[in-house]
Structure 1
Amino acid sequence: MSSTRLDPRSEAGPAPRHWTERIGIPRPLAWGFIGLLIFMIGDGVEFGYLSPYLLDQGVPGQRVALVFTVYGATASIAAWFSGALSDMWGPRRVMWAGLAIWVVCHILFLTMALTTVNYGLILLTYGLRGFGYPLFAFGFLVWVAAATPQRRLGTAVGWFWFAFTGGLPTLGSLVASALVPWIGPYATLWAALGLIVIGGLIALLMVNEPTGRRRLAPEGERPIMTLLGSLTILWRRPRIGVGAIVRTINTAPQFGFLVFLPIFFTDTVGFSLEQWLRLLTVMFATNIVFNLIFGVVGDRLGWRRTVAWCGGVGSAVSVLALYYVPAAAGPQYALAVLVAAFYGATLAGYVPLSALMPSLAPEHKGQAMAALNLGAGVSVVAGPAIVAVFLEPLGVAGVMWIFAVLYLASAVMTMFLKLPEETGGRTPGGAGAPGRRGATAEPEAEAAPPNRE
């Protein structure tokens, strides 16, 4: 009688998870996060010195401002289209398009525009380059949203924002501070191109996860309808429209602060310009760390709760502290550092919104992300516009109260962003859900999402 020997592997428990999975990074996308970080470092190299460099080349200040205004407009448009094009082409092709636009326009900017100091070419090439980084970065964000199991999505988007803000402006500015004194500002812009190419190729050639290689929109949907759908979804799915408003409120005060807080902290509180810049650095550095922390917290506590309480209510409190503590204490730098860090931390409380929005429309994740990115683009304009209208009649305190009330309103609006399974609709992320097929798919029983209250 023959005996049957069991394969020892059949008695073993589940294979241990890879270390990237244990820290919340989907293993098939891990190289994408590394590539994104390097890409955004390259994009952020110019952040702190391109404006004065153009002034040194003889470009008048108003014209420099127009260059960055056009750049901001094209970047906002590209951020919106990144989701819609991902639905139509697939995120990977959108990322390739973003990388190609960045590289080609930057080379033209360096070789034709800067060398001749031709303002028309500077405006054209740098403005068109604004389409590049949002297509690459936010195309990858759509890929993350489409391919990550829902119960880990908050942590994954936390890692996305960790890499994004870690590169722009933090490590990018640090690289520039080392290279500009060594090789000069012009050569540093060429070095930035090298980082862009390295980061882009790492993300696009090292990631083999299949979800990002195909269109995310339902089969048979026409391209025009896919593009229009990225706009009409704002009223077809009212919760998506509300989420876009919440995203606008998220960073509108941040952009508004850059208009008047430097004057407040230097002229009113009594800090030097260097001290104010260090405060700003502390704010952004804290935000980077808490982008990751609140991604994890969102998966544990619930996405809506995290955005509403840590983001909305927390930012309402911190924005008032950012004004009243320095105004009352005067030039007490340690206290100012604490409130700046407090605001940077609460601002990151909105990170789970990047997981919540695509889950509100599981069959149109790209369109939902387009709405999210549209809100981000509008915030660039909305914040400074609020300051322009209300600063003179209400003063700094009045503007800060307006921002605080907006944050509280966003907390209330967030509580209405219920997932389909909470309103009796189809559960996203189950077996066969659109945009969820691929290497990171998990067994149906394991993929059931927790309550996202």
Structure 2
Amino acid sequence: MPSSNRFIAAIQKTGFPTNLATGFLAVIIFVIGDGIEAVWITNYLSSDEVGFAVSQASMIVTSYGVVVAIAAFLSGALCDAIGCRRVMLIGLVSFLVCDALFISVGLPSHNLPLLLLFYGLRGFGYPMFAYGFLTWTMIVTPPARQSSVSGWFWFAFSLGMQLLGSYLSSLLLPHIGHIPTLWLGWVLAAVGGTIGMLFLRLHPSSAQTRGKSVAESVGSAVSVLWRYPKVSIGGIVKVINLSGQYGMQAYYVVYLHKVYGMPESQAILEFSIFGFVAILGDVFWGVIGDKLGWRNTLQWFATPITAAALAYIYLIPIVAGPNFFLIALGTSAVGIGLSAHVPTTPLITAHAHGETGNALAILNLGAGLGAFVGPAIVTLLMGDETTASGYLWVAMALAGIYVISFFLCFALKLPGNARILDTFSDEDADEQKEAVTA
């Protein structure tokens, strides 16, 4: 066997869909550009250069989260009506327009309403593009491989959004400043989006619809919440999953920089370590989820690890000061815990009785709401931004929501207490499996 074939075979054993590699590359490049400012935008907006308070800066980020939540829901719901390719195109165009307005008009104006508007509308970008791609991959992937493929999607997403974006920022900010870094992000998003659109032109299934109108698709995606209540519970778990990440992004660089004096570029680098661990974890937990069980992985690994890690990263600077290594241990643990949530995707779709698009609309809505709930917790609970005690309730609330998630997971057992979809053993489970596969 040629060495190239052996390499491909080895990669496929990890569950990596080699036929989707170009699509994953497009997602990576796009989300680097879309999220290049994610971990430092609160600190920048609350700096002397821009002049807002931390609470006002987190309000701007929260407005972004509101739009992300709406766009995330629509990214799944609209795929049935207009096709995944058009959904992704909407995300690409809307981001490029609104990001350009944010950089060229909003920031120079120092006007809070304009920043709320333009930064908020940027939120249509990555959910429509990246989650639209996720929805398509779940539609074309057999159930037995969905956790692994989901893991590779979140690997690509985390690699771009959490690792490469923050690492690139840590390198560029000291040398070229904030505004040029934002423009570089715009260029990267344009490049990644173009690659994605060209790739999907080779796959007619990405443009297929189910013959539903937009209203029918959205209505069906909403009604799945009460038609299959476990999908609703799974959606809440997904909200919590992403809330910790976005909440940490909204406060932690500010916490390290303003309270403990850690340089901004070094504090951002802590997020690069978090991102590196998370992307490895996305692949690892995707495979483990298919072996140990989707709910088992979520309940007994993801939720307790994340809760403990989020409490640790707040407490360790109080105990040891701005010790880079000890803080990095904590951000690494957060990456492990958050990446262990990967099996949430197949678990939610399994409870939707074959309505994959509707289930993923709720999943995407949950992911989008996380971008709202996390910063909202920071906005509501932030105290004195110059003292550690001012961040206490923010940190404890972000850790505490994963305790809630742990108990919610008891309700997400599959029929027959199956570990994954393909291990149903009773007659009812077989019927559901056939429905999901159809």
**Is the TM value for this pair above 0.5?**
yes
Paired residues of 2:30 and 2:191 also in contact (CA < 8 A): yes
User: For residue 45 of structure 1, what is the aligned residue in structure 2?
Assistant: 36
Question: SS in structure 2 opposite 1:131?
Answer: helix
Deviation at 1:409, TM superposition (A): 3.5
Question: SS in structure 2 opposite 1:200?
Answer: helix
2:405 to 401, 410, 416: 410
User: For residue 372 of structure 1, what is the aligned residue in structure 2?
Assistant: 363
2-structure distance, mates of 1:309, 1:119: 43
Paired residues of 1:26 and 1:148 also in contact (CA < 8 A): no
Is 1:72 matched up with 2:39? no
Q: Percent identity, please.
A: 36
1-structure distance, mates of 2:76, 2:274: 29
- In terms of mean alpha carbon deviation, does 325-334 or 369-378 score higher? 325-334
1:197 to 172, 190, 199: 190
- In terms of mean alpha carbon deviation, does 15-24 or 27-36 score higher? 15-24
Task: Tell me which amino acid in the other structure corresponds to 1:244.
Answer: G
Structure 1 residues 103, 319: CA separation in 2 closer, same or farther (over 3 Å shift)?
A: closer
1:90 to 64, 79, 83: 83
5 Å-filtered alignment, 1:6-405, equals: 18-19=8-9, 21-47=12-38, 59-61=50-52, 66-110=59-103, 122-179=115-172, 185-207=178-200, 208-215=202-209, 217=210, 219=211, 221-257=212-248, 272=262, 276-322=267-313, 334-383=325-374
Paired residues of 1:149 and 1:429 also in contact (CA < 8 A): no
In the alignment, structure 2 segments of 5+ residues that lack a partner are 384-388, 416-420
Write the deviation string for residues 217-264 of structure 1: whole angstroms up to 9, x where unpaired.
5x5x44323212222222221010010111122233344445666687
Structure 1 residues 245, 197: CA separation in 2 closer, same or farther (over 3 Å shift)?
A: same
Write the deviation string for residues 264-288 of structure 1: whole angstroms up to 9, x where unpaired.
76798x6745565544443333222
Structure 1 residues 428, 31: CA separation in 2 closer, same or farther (over 3 Å shift)?
A: farther
User: For residue 386 of structure 2, what is the aligned residue in structure 1?
Assistant: none
Write the deviation string for residues 92-121 of structure 1: whole angstroms up to 9, x where unpaired.
110111112122333444555567777765
Paired residues of 2:58 and 2:375 also in contact (CA < 8 A): no
Structure 1 residues 123, 415: CA separation in 2 closer, same or farther (over 3 Å shift)?
A: closer
Paired residues of 1:362 and 1:433 also in contact (CA < 8 A): no
Deviation at 1:294, TM superposition (A): 0.8
Question: SS in structure 1 opposite 2:411?
Answer: coil
Task: Tell me which amino acid in the other structure corresponds to 1:139.
Answer: G
Paired residues of 2:65 and 2:372 also in contact (CA < 8 A): no
- In the alignment of these two chains, the number of paired residues is 415
Write the deviation string for residues 390-445 of structure 1: whole angstroms up to 9, x where unpaired.
788x99777766655542442332243244664715656759944xxxxxxxxxxx
Deviation at 1:152, TM superposition (A): 1.7
2-structure distance, mates of 1:250, 1:432: 25
Deviation at 1:368, TM superposition (A): 1.1
Write the deviation string for residues 31-86 of structure 1: whole angstroms up to 9, x where unpaired.
10011001111113333565676678975415655543332221221111111011
Paired residues of 1:247 and 1:376 also in contact (CA < 8 A): yes
2-structure distance, mates of 1:200, 1:139: 12
Paired residues of 2:354 and 2:435 also in contact (CA < 8 A): no
Task: Tell me which amino acid in the other structure corresponds to 1:140.
Answer: F
1-structure distance, mates of 2:7, 2:41: 44
Paired residues of 2:295 and 2:412 also in contact (CA < 8 A): yes
Structure 1 residues 67, 329: CA separation in 2 closer, same or farther (over 3 Å shift)?
A: closer
Paired residues of 2:40 and 2:253 also in contact (CA < 8 A): no
User: For residue 449 of structure 1, what is the aligned residue in structure 2?
Assistant: none
Task: Tell me which amino acid in the other structure corresponds to 1:411.
Answer: F
2-structure distance, mates of 1:182, 1:337: 24
Higher relative helix content:
2
2-structure distance, mates of 1:263, 1:114: 19
2-structure distance, mates of 1:213, 1:80: 18
Structure 1 residues 385, 105: CA separation in 2 closer, same or farther (over 3 Å shift)?
A: closer
Normalised by the size of structure 1, how large is the TM-score? 0.77
Task: Tell me which amino acid in the other structure corresponds to 1:46.
Answer: E
User: For residue 8 of structure 1, what is the aligned residue in structure 2?
Assistant: none
- In terms of mean alpha carbon deviation, does 418-427 or 197-206 score higher? 418-427
Paired residues of 2:295 and 2:409 also in contact (CA < 8 A): yes
Task: Tell me which amino acid in the other structure corresponds to 2:208.
Answer: R
Write the deviation string for residues 176-208 of structure 1: whole angstroms up to 9, x where unpaired.
455556666544444333322221122221243
Paired residues of 1:240 and 1:368 also in contact (CA < 8 A): yes
Normalised by the size of structure 2, how large is the TM-score? 0.79
Structure 1 residues 68, 319: CA separation in 2 closer, same or farther (over 3 Å shift)?
A: closer
Larger Rg: 1
Structure 1 residues 333, 185: CA separation in 2 closer, same or farther (over 3 Å shift)?
A: closer
Deviation at 1:157, TM superposition (A): 1.2
Structure 1 residues 368, 330: CA separation in 2 closer, same or farther (over 3 Å shift)?
A: same
